[in-house]
Each structure stands twice: as structure tokens, then as C-alpha cells.
Amino acid sequence: MYRRISAIVASTLIAFVIIAYMLMRVWNDLLAALEHIIFAYLVIAVLICLFAWWLRGLRYKSILGSIGIRVSTAFSTASIFVSQTANLIVPARLGDLVRVFILKHEYQATYAQGISSLVVERLFDIIMVALLGVISLPFVLNVPDWFYLVIVLPLIIGGIFFGILLFIGRMRTENRYISFILTMLEEVRKASLTLRAIIVLSISSLIIWLLDAGVCAAIALMFGQDIPFLIIVLAIVIGNLVKAIPLTPGGVGTYELALAVTFSLVGVAPAIATLIAVIDHLVKNLVTLAGGIISIYFFGDWVVAVMKKAYRKELRGDATAGD
């Protein structure tokens, strides 16, 4: 118990230190920039963010349908809201587990089905984000070498993973743990390797991440910055791929730092780059938090107990049973 608490405290402290450092080094310029905010763009940013959430719900509904779980768009969107809200609190993206238990509670889904749905969603997210990075990279000069690594590595890993999925159906084993993994991968294959799935999930994922960049573009305009959209796309790509490394809850700190570094490459003043990065992530997290709270009421009180159970150590063993 103390080990888990210390992990949460340590990761939260890292996030706080990064944000505090970014803000304090440009504090006076920040105060000056805040005097010229155009709040209409904040409303636009929130509306774009909400639309992106609805589209995420549609995509997840499609993924679940591919593995035999028929849900409403309201259910799929609410389940993502709850799990992402949990991710704002705990490190290592453990909040994603909440979705697995919600599916089991409401639809008697197996753990293999629940986990495979998350894998498919994350797989298309990361690959499509990386592809957007490849497209936007040529439009930024003097890009650090590590940008290329951050963008290309997910594509290589994604390609290897898809290769594994092509051959996974031929493997058999009596070991129950390996059998659980193979069952999960078979579910992933069913949900991701059909022509329809590839087209629907690829297009919807691209739109979702372009909308995510649209939120950031609106925030930039709120501070009077007309940054080229492909530059914003690259910043969102780097921010989210860095955030995928679970160092802090919700990627707070690392995401903002990645965005600010990217914007500074094209001449955006440090104070403005910091403000755009911090406000962009704050808006997205507040929308997530509000959606999570509403979604908990949508599901009912039982989901709070499910969220607590998701972090209990003993359930790690239960999940291998595969039901």
C-alpha cells in the first residue's frame, strides 16, 4: 500500500516541479500576456474538445462491436471519460483498467475482451499520431534528433505488433497465462485487422487527433498567436507521444514541456509557448474531469467501487483467469 501511495506522490511531485519551473522562468511575461486574452476562442476550444470526445465514443463503440459487445455511444463515451479521469489521478495509465471492470460489470465481458479493446484503441491512437508527426516534420526546421526517434519508434513497434497479429491464430498452448495473452491478441486481431476496421479506425483516429490540434490552435489564437496548423500538429504529436511514457498522472508536466519546446522552435516567445501549452492541457483535463464526474452519475454509485477495485493488487491475478 505504501509503495503504491509513494508512486503516486512521487509522480505527482515530478509533474508539479516541471510545471512550476516552466511558469516561474517566464512569470512576468506570463502576467503581461494574460492581459490580452480573447476568451471567445476558449469557448471554441471547449466545443472542439467535446466534439472530439463524442468521436472517441463512437470509435470505441465500433471497437467493442467488433469483439461482440454492443453498447450505446453514451456508454462508450462515458466509460472513456471515467477511465481518463482516473488517469488524471494515478500514474502509469492504471485508470484504463477501470474500463475493463465497467465492461465486465455491465456486459459480462471477459478480461481478455476488455483489455483487447484498450489495446486496439491505443494502437490506432499511437500509430495515427506518429503518422501525423511524419507528415508535419518537414515543415519545422532545426528539429531535435530525439523528435525523429519519438515519432519513428511507435511506427516500428506498431508494424511489428501487426505482424505478430497476423500469425497469432496459429499458436496454441496449455499454459493458462500464455493462453490468456493469446486469447486477448486474437480479440485484438478481430477488432483491428479487417478492412472495415482499418479504414474506420484509421480515419476516425486521424480526425480525433486533428481535432486535438484544433483545440490547441484555438488556445493559440486566444493569445493572439497565428501559429501554422502543421506546427501545432507536430507539437500535439510530440506532446502525446511523450505523454504516453507514464512518468506523471495524465502526462502533466511532460506534455506541457514538449509543446513549449516545439513552439519555441518556430520562434514563439517562451512565455506565450508556455501559456499555450499549459492552458491547452488544462482545458483538455478540465473537460475530461467534468465528463468523468457526469459519467459517474450516468453509471451510478457502483462505478466508484469499481474504480477502487481496479487498483487492488489482488485483481492483477484475477485478470489472468480470462473468465
Backbone Cα Rg of the chain: 20
Instruction: Give the count of domains, the chain.
Output: 1
Distance CA 151, CA 137 (A): 9
Q: What is the domain extent for residue 304?
A: 2-321
Residue 37: its pLDDT value, please? 81
Say if residue 3's pLDDT is above 60: no
What would you measure as the largest C-alpha separation in the chain, in angstroms? 66
> Percent of the chain having pLDDT more than 90?
48
The Cα–Cα gap between 92 and 7 comes to 10
User: What DSSP string describes 199-265?
Assistant: HHHHHHHHHHHHHHHHHHHHHHHHTT----HHHHHHHHHHHHHHHTS-SSGGGTTHHHHHHHHHHHT
**3-class secondary structure, 127:** helix
Length of the chain: 323
- Is the pLDDT at 321 greater than 50? The verdict is no
Q: Mind listing the pLDDT tens digit for each residue in 61-105?
A: 999 999 999 999 999 999 999 999 888 877 667 778 889 989 998
Considering only residues 210 and 275, tell me which one the structure prediction assigns the higher pLDDT. Answer: 210
Q: Which of 244, 242, 252 is nearest to 284 (CA)?
A: 252
Neighbours of 100 (CB within 10 A): 25
